[in-house]
Structure 1
């Protein structure tokens, strides 16, 4: 006899309440409690869905979940990319732009190394490597997009989230510790003070401004949602049109992929209307909340047993990728004359995303690198999904 969950799949209000409330609690707990911060908000979000589904409280399937997958998840991509002004990125990132691509090369090398070392032990290893390439060049948004593109199972996705976050925490700790070692400073060098720090109160003001609550009005919310819906609708229609053409199969699938088009259409919009996009407030916050709904949802159909079995090998898989990222970043970075702060920030921008790279620049009081560190991370959002999809397909052919 089929097991019946305590909450019915048709109990729409209760399920929506759980998704929204648990997403909010995950964000709050990460900022409020040290243990949640160590786990990270996405892991806390996954655990809620995972535990309640595996204990029979939540149903494994529901039309509510389909609504989130089909409508909410796509909206987060344009929301997070509406600040991705390529002209500003190229103009204001300076030396970090080149260093970022060296670090991205490290992620690509890491994907090959991880497949070579652990490919036989990981189910659908090329796709897993593609997903983590997208994540370790971009961030959670790119992880979400490639999981959808490669149609990864819920258990593998959950195990990947756990492994990824554990590796990411270790990586950030290492990066934060490096400037304390005299040998690292001597070997890699530091930028001159005038290129690293703002003087006196100016530096403190820029750092405090980063964490200051941002004003968002009803008009901002309306603009953000209207643009996100317009971009997703246009991209979906364009995807349907491309899919119906006589373009050769593999190229048609690539050009017509909805999640890749979400990125392309958003970036083109920002290029055409940079002033309008720059004045939008709250896009990152709204997009991030949508991603948290995804993290809660991905835990619901997953099996705790399957995650416990898969997570250790996926931890090793992710660790190899991140290790290669660091080796290439610091090896080639030194060869090309980049300094320790620059290499630390671009490695974090690749592995942990723009918010963390800017946060580390603030923590270290590298005031003049806060904005460049954030912008190269946004550039990672732009290219991450494309590179992840390409890598996943290349690795399927090679391995």
Structure 2
């Protein structure tokens, strides 16, 4: 495990260096660079991290990053932004369901008896993220081979849509005015102190959320973590949390390296091709229809993309997209809207599976 984690961190460090030292890296941004590095490494070499290493990155480290990002949130500014995300998020969920049902009819003969199972897991994961995927998969109990192919297809199409969303958002955003940098000595001393305190805040929130989770085992851990972080963010001593946002933004990058490394395309181009095409159809149709609807309804681009990501990838990836687009005010609304997907995604997945169920699936 340790060696795999080290490789992931080294690839992330390479992405950080390329995003700062090359013109194309600065244009793409660190998140897209590390995602692309992961995709290239796994599809050229075939190497993938162990489940334990990927689980540690996606679990404790990403939880720390989420805590750090939310520790910088001012609740007084949340509702106006959350309200702007609600309508495009609802549209994203509805469009996902329509795309799943249409795709089930169009590709039904190709998908065969597995159609209803795929409809269920893809509806679930594309209306709230992988937590819903796991919940519906446990209920429908697909064969292990189908589950592996569906998981890979989910990762591949999500990674592509996240990269496209990031590119669209960066291309459509207005450049922010640069602030003058402090003197080198002051920046070094102040930065070290700020980041050290930020780390203590983040670790404290993780510990507190673990204790609360033990007392409330029925509550999803993401709800416990985000609630604990938000309460801590409203406490006094704001200056001691000054480095949380930047530190959280850096710590969440290995998560996207893992996503890239978990997206092998080769295995999907054979027997898994129908599954990949079905997943790509769902995300592409949702994305295209949402962007057209956005032009008609004049929704802001960043808000629309973050809302779509909350549906396709869930709260964590919506938060990551908002911060990567330098829209920190959308961080908490992205998580809040994404949590709605947790509430509805499992039910919608089971409904979609039932609608497309055929006796041949028995």
TM range (shorter): 0.5 to 0.7
CA distance in 2, matches of 1:173, 1:292: 15
Note the alpha carbon deviations across 1:359-398, whole angstroms, 9 max, x for none: 88xxxxxxxxx8xx542x3134321441221122221342
Question: Which residue of the partner structure matches residue 286 of structure 1?
Answer: 250
Shift of 1:305: 0.7
Contact 1:23 1:289 in 2 (8 A): yes
CA distance in 2, matches of 1:83, 1:17: 28
Where do 1:216-235 residues align within 5 Å? 217-235=191-209
1:129 aligns with 2:103: no
Shift of 1:304: 3.2
Match of 1:43 among 35, 42, 49: 35
Question: Which residue of the partner structure matches residue 3 of structure 1?
Answer: none
Gaps (5+ residues) in structure 1? 1-8, 135-142, 180-196, 198-203, 244-251, 334-339, 361-369
Shift of 1:314: 1.6
CA distance in 2, matches of 1:349, 1:274: 30
1:343 aligns with 2:333: no
Match of 2:74 among 52, 63, 85: 85
Two-structure CA RMSD over aligned residues (Å): 4.4
Match of 1:160 among 154, 175, 182: 154
2:262 counterpart SS class = helix
Shift of 1:160: 2.8
Question: Which residue of the partner structure matches residue 111 of structure 1?
Answer: 96
Note the alpha carbon deviations across 1:321-368, whole angstroms, 9 max, x for none: 22343344344x3xxxxxx4x5333223334657867988xxxxxxxx
1:208 counterpart SS class = coil
Shift of 1:320: 2.1
Change over 3 Å in CA distance of 1:82–1:176 after alignment to 2: closer
Scaled by the length of structure 2, what TM-score is found? Answer: 0.67
CA distance in 1, matches of 2:240, 2:127: 28
2:50 counterpart SS class = coil
1:304 aligns with 2:274: no
Q: Which range moved further: 152-161 or 70-79?
A: 152-161
CA distance in 1, matches of 2:66, 2:220: 14
Where do 1:366-385 residues align within 5 Å? 374-375=328-329, 377-385=330-338
CA distance in 2, matches of 1:161, 1:374: 25
Scaled by the length of structure 1, what TM-score is found? Answer: 0.62
Gaps (5+ residues) in structure 2? 139-146, 310-317, 353-362
Change over 3 Å in CA distance of 1:271–1:396 after alignment to 2: same
Question: Which residue of the partner structure matches residue 50 of structure 2?
Answer: 61
Match of 1:100 among 58, 63, 85: 85
1:391 aligns with 2:341: no
CA distance in 2, matches of 1:30, 1:48: 16
